A and B are shown apart, each in its own frame.
Chain A
């Protein structure tokens, strides 16, 4: 039996970054908002306190804060001809659950996309010709530009108290910042984080080769900060327990720290935890979502929550699953190329570089912030000439370590055995004397990389799992080879005692080792309803009162971590909802 509840103005599915931001903006605009979060309540005081939060085994190895794969997961196959099998335990990516979502246990790397990232198809076609983009590469323009999003990036950076150094202030290039970034109206709200051995050594080496290194923009606050909402952050203590952990000193921006302290007391907002949205109830004739059905995960009872406005702010896979399972929009068909729900699933291509060891230096890896280090963008986007390279896009190269947690983060020189006396000696000698120099690359969309419903495996609510058909492609391997060589050249200029051979990922995408939780696509945005799920305001083409947030709307993945770009899009969409949609409910773009 389903209990039907009283209609509210707006219901928000998921209480991560985008759900919290939209809830805040909509309540400020006067709407009564109900937030539905499948996981438990999480507060810094109760859940992120020391000493318990400094438990590597519990949080890293036993996945304390992550999505419970006993309840749901995704299945994977590398090609349409294969049978997908479930990821029985997460490895390569670690989606969150609970209040704050993955935004409570991220590292805090916060980017603005490059201007070119929003116009991938038109830019490369115009500059390098019609054949620059392979026929089966289905990259698209976002339908929104960097210039349009700039004020919203600014707002998200201020919400999070980002620590960084501007490189392009209203068109003026500033040495020490990222000179390749699009023009920004304001500098970062906080100064950059401190620099350790890895950061400063890489900076010097990259400069000596004529590159333009800059400090990683970080949601780890370099000093105490109060954001425009009135929420306060402490100073980062460089504890080395950032990604996979909540922050005990409230120094890492998160929905829990940056938004919920002002959202939760608002009488216009009601948060229901342990409330797992199963389905959006769709009125096809009216082209509206009338309500959402959710399960109380404590009792198993189902509730129907009618709402005038529905915000889908779950993770990439759940956003896509809810659209497919609820029958909204046209599922993507990789054979004909028709349909859009599930299209352009992308991931992130990481780890193209080297490890360096310094006999006479102390890198102190355990003294670290999450988003910490020095980056260079000289080989990202179209910041360099792609003629004759055989690939499009690029990546950022970074140096540093975000932690020295001993189970997970140890490196030993090549040739060291994996156990025994020699292994022990190598660990004792090198644990405090190494770091990585590596590129993280774009991951572009292909016709046969997509999401749909698995025909065999089901989740705990009886719905099909999302089936991922995905593999890396030639464009990725070529960027990998390129970035690993560039990383090695810079690393060599640092005169390390030992340097590994340049490495990059080859072969099939591997679901086992952690790479990044930067999954994108499935409900992509655009200006053409035949090739996108939501319009440029993140409004569903098929349900005018449904808006979809998060990285599931990215038509392809840039090299940068997705949180900054999806935060800006959330504010951009909220602005359109409040200032356009609420004044005249209906489609904001004509199909």
Chain B
């Protein structure tokens, strides 16, 4: 079995050094206490299991989501927030299989404004896209994407974002857009889907989560930060 390189050790170092005081000052939500931080690390340290992603895909996505969401004082890395587990769950579920997607042919290339026209389901899209991105990475850098240095990963991601990278039979810009979107979903969605562990992104933003009943607060807090000690997710009410 291929060893999967996760940048978890980097995160542990960063979290230990920087703490989370900066996040609290910015958002008005109480910082993660040392206890909750430790709990988050403990859960992240348990081995993740995957429904549909291959080892190569996990390695690629870990490197990509950590480039998009690097660990710093504001949050753990994308991987440690569960973004890869989230993506796996989505691609292995109804969405990944093409639910609520019109799939009848014929397939033709249209203008960008006509929207997505590929025959691929979201899962198939990422399988093909990761393969194409890794092939491009090998051609460009001589290494798979997850083996690149952080600076190279960022440089590669920028090349996809701008659409200047020529993937074989695949549009690098479209791949980037969908990679960015599903990473954002994983980072910001309710933690019940496996991402946003310990509500890390909600703490970063100062988003209180549930139950969201503000009839008595909307005018009182017209120009004041609302102090929420702990954002609440759907799981906290279930």
Determine the distance from Cα of A409 to Cα of B68 in the docked complex, in whole angstroms: 18
Which A residues touch B116, using CB under 8 A?
A: 88-89
Which B residues touch A428, using CB under 8 A?
A: 23, 26-27, 74, 204-206
Which A residues touch B106, using CB under 8 A?
A: 456
Encode contact with A along B87-105: 1 for CB under 8 Å, 0 otherwise: 0000000110011111110
Which residue of B has the minimal Cβ distance to A223?
B215
In the complex, are the beta carbons of B215 and A235 less than 8 A apart? Answer: yes
Which B residues touch A407, using CB under 8 A?
A: 184-185, 188-189
At the interface, yes or no: B142 with Cβ under 8 Å from chain A? no
In the complex, are the beta carbons of B224 and A366 less than 8 A apart? Answer: no
At the interface, yes or no: B16 with Cβ under 8 Å from chain A? no
Encode contact with B along A196-219: 1 for CB under 8 Å, 0 otherwise: 110010000000000000000000
Provided the pairs A88-B103, A235-B215 are in contact, do residues A511 and B223 lie with their beta carbons within 8 angstroms?
A: no
The secondary-structure label for the interface of chain A is loop
Determine the distance from Cα of A235 to Cα of B104 in the docked complex, in whole angstroms: 45
At the interface, yes or no: A36 with Cβ under 8 Å from chain B? no
* Interchain CB contact (< 8 A) of B212 among A239, A410, A431: A239
Which residue of B has the minimal Cβ distance to A83?
B108
At the interface, yes or no: A147 with Cβ under 8 Å from chain B? no
At the interface, yes or no: A237 with Cβ under 8 Å from chain B? yes
In the complex, are the beta carbons of A420 and B226 less than 8 A apart? Answer: no
In the complex, are the beta carbons of B189 and A56 less than 8 A apart? Answer: yes
In the complex, are the beta carbons of B193 and A57 less than 8 A apart? Answer: yes
In the complex, are the beta carbons of A420 and B70 less than 8 A apart? Answer: yes
Determine the distance from Cα of A427 to Cα of B218 in the docked complex, in whole angstroms: 22
In the complex, are the beta carbons of A362 and B157 less than 8 A apart? Answer: no
In the complex, are the beta carbons of B234 and A55 less than 8 A apart? Answer: yes
At the interface, yes or no: B57 with Cβ under 8 Å from chain A? no
Determine the distance from Cα of A511 to Cα of B190 in the docked complex, in whole angstroms: 27
In the complex, are the beta carbons of A78 and B218 less than 8 A apart? Answer: no
Determine the distance from Cα of A3 to Cα of B108 in the docked complex, in whole angstroms: 39
At the interface, yes or no: A500 with Cβ under 8 Å from chain B? no
In the complex, are the beta carbons of A56 and B190 less than 8 A apart? Answer: yes
Encode contact with B along A56-79: 1 for CB under 8 Å, 0 otherwise: 110001110010111011001110
At the interface, yes or no: B161 with Cβ under 8 Å from chain A? yes
In the complex, are the beta carbons of A88 and B205 less than 8 A apart? Answer: no
In the complex, are the beta carbons of A364 and B226 less than 8 A apart? Answer: yes
At the interface, yes or no: B47 with Cβ under 8 Å from chain A? no
Which B residues touch A69, using CB under 8 A?
A: 100-102
Within 8 A of B (CB), among A487-521: 507-512
Which A residues touch B183, using CB under 8 A?
A: 419
At the interface, yes or no: A582 with Cβ under 8 Å from chain B? no
Which B residues touch A50, using CB under 8 A?
A: 210-211, 237
Which residue of A has the minimal Cβ distance to B203?
A428
In the complex, are the beta carbons of B211 and A431 less than 8 A apart? Answer: no
At the interface, yes or no: B48 with Cβ under 8 Å from chain A? no
Which residue of B has the minimal Cβ distance to A54?
B210
| Shortest Cβ gap from B196 to chain A (Å) | 9
Number of B interface residues in the complex (CB < 8 A): 69
In the complex, are the beta carbons of B115 and A418 less than 8 A apart? Answer: no
Encode contact with B along A403-443: 1 for CB under 8 Å, 0 otherwise: 01011001000000011110011011101100000000000
In the complex, are the beta carbons of A238 and B218 less than 8 A apart? Answer: yes
At the interface, yes or no: A129 with Cβ under 8 Å from chain B? no
The secondary-structure label for the interface of chain B is loop
Which A residues touch B238, using CB under 8 A?
A: 51
In the complex, are the beta carbons of A419 and B102 less than 8 A apart? Answer: no
Encode contact with B along A88-126: 1 for CB under 8 Å, 0 otherwise: 110100000000000000000000000000000000000
Provided the pairs A70-B100, A88-B103, A510-B113 are in contact, do residues A362 and B225 lie with their beta carbons within 8 angstroms?
A: yes
Which residue of B has the minimal Cβ distance to A241?
B212
* Interchain CB contact (< 8 A) of A424 among B28, B69, B154: B69
Which A residues touch B202, using CB under 8 A?
A: 406
At the interface, yes or no: A29 with Cβ under 8 Å from chain B? no
| Shortest Cβ gap from A293 to chain B (Å) | 22
At the interface, yes or no: A240 with Cβ under 8 Å from chain B? yes
* Interchain CB contact (< 8 A) of B99 among A70, A239, A367: A70
Which residue of B has the minimal Cβ distance to A69?
B102
Within 8 A of B (CB), among A177-201: 194-197, 200
Determine the distance from Cα of A583 to Cα of B65 in the docked complex, in whole angstroms: 68
At the interface, yes or no: B50 with Cβ under 8 Å from chain A? no
Provided the pairs A56-B189, A407-B189, A456-B106 are in contact, do residues A508 and B113 lie with their beta carbons within 8 angstroms?
A: yes
Provided the pairs A55-B190, A367-B217, A419-B157 are in contact, do residues A87 and B102 lie with their beta carbons within 8 angstroms?
A: yes
* Interchain CB contact (< 8 A) of A238 among B68, B99, B101, B215: B215
Which A residues touch B190, using CB under 8 A?
A: 54-57
Provided the pairs A240-B212, A366-B207, A366-B212 are in contact, do residues A194 and B218 lie with their beta carbons within 8 angstroms?
A: yes
In the complex, are the beta carbons of B111 and A431 less than 8 A apart? Answer: no
Determine the distance from Cα of A91 to Cα of B114 in the docked complex, in whole angstroms: 10
Which A residues touch B28, using CB under 8 A?
A: 362, 432
In the complex, are the beta carbons of A361 and B223 less than 8 A apart? Answer: yes
At the interface, yes or no: A52 with Cβ under 8 Å from chain B? yes
In the complex, are the beta carbons of B207 and A406 less than 8 A apart? Answer: yes
At the interface, yes or no: A85 with Cβ under 8 Å from chain B? yes
Within 8 A of B (CB), among A395-409: 404, 406-407
Determine the distance from Cα of A51 to Cα of B191 in the docked complex, in whole angstroms: 13
Determine the distance from Cα of A427 to Cα of B67 in the docked complex, in whole angstroms: 16
Which B residues touch A425, using CB under 8 A?
A: 74
Which A residues touch B180, using CB under 8 A?
A: 418-419
Which B residues touch A72, using CB under 8 A?
A: 102
Determine the distance from Cα of A198 to Cα of B36 in the docked complex, in whole angstroms: 35
In the complex, are the beta carbons of B214 and A237 less than 8 A apart? Answer: yes
Determine the distance from Cα of A196 to Cα of B214 in the docked complex, in whole angstroms: 11
Provided the pairs A407-B189, A419-B157 are in contact, do residues A88 and B117 lie with their beta carbons within 8 angstroms?
A: yes
In the complex, are the beta carbons of A70 and B102 less than 8 A apart? Answer: yes
Which A residues touch B207, using CB under 8 A?
A: 366, 404, 406, 431
Within 8 A of A (CB), among B160-190: 161, 180, 183-185, 188-190
In the complex, are the beta carbons of A406 and B210 less than 8 A apart? Answer: no
Which residue of B has the minimal Cβ distance to A68?
B100
In the complex, are the beta carbons of B212 and A54 less than 8 A apart? Answer: yes
At the interface, yes or no: A457 with Cβ under 8 Å from chain B? yes
At the interface, yes or no: B219 with Cβ under 8 Å from chain A? yes
Which residue of B has the minimal Cβ distance to A199?
B222
Which B residues touch A51, using CB under 8 A?
A: 210-211, 234, 236-238
Q: List 10 A-B contacts (CB under 8 A).
A: A51-B211, A51-B237, A57-B185, A85-B115, A87-B115, A91-B115, A197-B223, A236-B215, A238-B213, A367-B218
Closest 10 CB pairs of A and B: A51-B237, A239-B212, A367-B214, A57-B189, A238-B214, A406-B188, A419-B68, A237-B213, A431-B205, A85-B110
Apart from A77-B114, A85-B115, list 6 A-B contacts with CB within 8 A.
A89-B102, A241-B212, A364-B221, A367-B218, A428-B27, A509-B113
